[in-house]
A and B are shown apart, each in its own frame.
Chain A
Amino acid sequence: MELSKVIRESLEPVVLTDLYPRTTIDLFVEVLQSDGGSRCAGITAASLALADAGIPMRELVAACAVGKVQGKLALDLSDAEDKYGEADLPVAYVPNANLVTLLQMDGALTPDEFETGLNMAVEACKAIHTMQREALKKKYHDIKEVVEEKEEAEVVA
C-alpha cells in the first residue's frame, strides 16, 4: 500500500491530470519476478505505458536505485545485494525538469555518500530516459515501416 502511494506520487508530477477532471487513470504494475529494483522498474515501465496510452505528460519518468554493498556505492541492487548490503536508495528522476519525484532510503549513508550516490542514480536515470525515448520512437518507426510496405504493395498491384 505504501508502495502504491510512492509510485503514484512519482508519476503525478508529470501527468497532466488537469486535462482529466472527474476522471481516474488506473495504473496496474504487475511484478512477474522480483529480484530487487522492482519499484524502479515498475515506475520506468509505468511512465512508458502512460505515454503509450496517449495520456498527455510533461516528460517521461525514469527510475533507478543506488545502494551500498560491502562499503562501495553501486547502482541497481539485486535482491541479495539489497538484503545483505548496507543501504538502498531508490530514485525516480525527471531529467528536463531536474526533479526527483521518488526518493526513499534505508540503511546507513554519510551525507557525502548520499550526495555521490544521488549523482550516480541521476546519471543512470538519464541513461534510462534515453532508452525510454528510443523505445517509444521505435514503436512508431516500426508502424511507419509496415504502412509504407503495404502502400508499396498496393501501388504495384
Chain B
Amino acid sequence: MSATPQLPPVAKLEQKTVVDLVSKGKRIDDRGLESYRPLEIKVGVIEKANGSAQVHLGKSKVLVGVKVETGEPFPDTPEEGVLTVNAELVPLASPSFEMGPPSEEAIEIARVVDRGIRESKAVDVKSLVIQKGKKVQVVYVDVYVLDHDGNLIDAAAMAALAALVNAKVTKMEMKGDEVVVKGGHHPLPLNNYPVAVTFAKIEKTLLVDPSLEEEQVMSARLTVTIDKNGHVCAMQKGGQYGFTVEELKRAVGLAVQKAAENRASILAVAKG
C-alpha cells in the first residue's frame, strides 16, 4: 500500500519566494536553472570496506560503501555474480527520517541507483563467478544518506559510482569444496559509468539538481541516468504531477550534457 506522503508544512512566504524566483529564471541560491550545486567527492573514506565514497552535493551528504562477499548465484543466472543496492535514510539526516523498516523514499533511491548500475552493465558480473552455478562474489552497494538537503538520488548515484571505481576485490578460487583466497587484490571490473541527472518541475519550469526548498514546492521530479556512451539507461518519474512530452525530450538532451560533466568530476577523483 502506498499513500500520498504527508509533507512537513512549508511557510507560504518561502514557497512563494522559491516559485517567484524560478518563474524569473533565478534560484534561491543564485545558481542557474541548469547548474548543479558545488560537488565534492572523496573516495576510500572507510578503510575496512572494499570500496567507499562520500559525496557532498551542496549540503546533501551521502556515504556509499561497497562490500564484496562470497555467496551463491541466483538459479536463473548461474554464470553471473550478484549485485545488491540498499539505501538507508539515517534519522540524523533529516527530521522526517525515522528508525524502522525502509521507507518508500529509501526503496525508490535504492531502486533507481540499482537500475542505473544494472542496466548499464556497469559491474562486470560475469567476472565475479568463482565456480559456475555454485559460488560467486556478491557485491553489496550500501547507500547511507547522512544529511538531506535535496536531490538524494543524484548524490547517491554519484557516490555509488565513485565507490565502485574505488573498490578492490580479493581474488578467490575453489579448492575442493572450499573457497580460498588466491591472493592479491584487483580493482572491481567495471564496463560502464552511469550517472543520474535529476530534474524538478516548478510551475512550468524545469530545473536541474533541486535543493530541499525546491523539492518542497516541485510538482514532479524526473531522473535520467546516462551511461558512458551517452545512452539513456534508466529513468524514473516521481511526484504528484507529470511532464509534457516536450519537457521530457528536452530533459533527456540536457541530462546527456550534465551527466558527462559530472562523470568527468567523479572519475578524476575516483581513478586518482
Q: CB within 8 Å of B: which residues of A?
A: 1-2, 4-9, 12-13, 17, 24, 26, 89, 94, 97-111, 114-115, 118-119, 122
Contacts and interface: CB of A to CB of B under 8 A. Distances in A.
22 contacts: A1-B2, A2-B108, A5-B2, A5-B108, A5-B238, A6-B236, A6-B237, A8-B4, A12-B4, A89-B235, A100-B248, A103-B236, A105-B232, A106-B233, A108-B120, A110-B231, A111-B231, A111-B253, A114-B249, A115-B252, A118-B249, A119-B245
Interface in B161-214: none
B132 to A, nearest CB: 21
B96 interface: no
A115 B232 CA distance: 11
B239 interface: yes
A99 B253 CA distance: 19
Interface in B231-261: 231-245, 248-249, 252-253, 256
Tell me the interface secondary structure of chain A in the complex: mixed
A1 B252 CA distance: 26
Given A103-B236, A107-B233, A98 B245 contact: yes
Contact of A98 (B118, B239, B244): B244
B119 interface: yes
Contact of B240 (A4, A9, A97, A98): A9
A12 B238 CA distance: 11
B19 to A, nearest CB: 18
Contacts of B2: 1, 4-5, 7-8
B111 interface: yes
Contact of A118 (B115, B118, B242, B245): B245
A2 B104 contact: yes
Given A13-B242, A101-B237, A105-B235, 9 more contacts: A1-B107, A4-B1, A99-B241, A100-B243, A106-B115, A107-B233, A110-B231, A115-B252, A118-B249
Given A98-B245, A118-B245, A104 B236 contact: yes
Contacts of A105: 232-236
Interface residues of B, number: 35
B244 A99 contact: yes
Instruction: Point out which of A9, A89, A99 has the most chain B C-beta atoms below 10 A from its C-beta.
Output: A9
A103 B237 contact: yes
A71 to B, nearest CB: 14
Contacts of B248: 100, 103, 118
Contacts of B118: 106
Interface in B138-172: none
B107 A9 contact: no
A17 B3 CA distance: 12
Nearest to B238: A9
Contacts of B233: 105-108
A104 B256 CA distance: 17
Contact of B237 (A98, A100, A108, A122): A100
B25 interface: no
Given A105-B234, A107-B119, A108-B119, A99 B1 contact: no
B240 A13 contact: yes
A26 to B, nearest CB: 8
A36 B209 CA distance: 33
Contacts of B104: 1-2, 5
Contacts of B256: 111
B231 A109 contact: yes
A108 B226 CA distance: 9
B230 interface: yes
Contacts of A99: 241-244
B237 A114 contact: no
Given A4-B1, A111-B253, A103 B235 contact: yes
Q: Most chain-A Cβ atoms within 10 A of its Cβ — which of B118, B230, B241?
A: B241
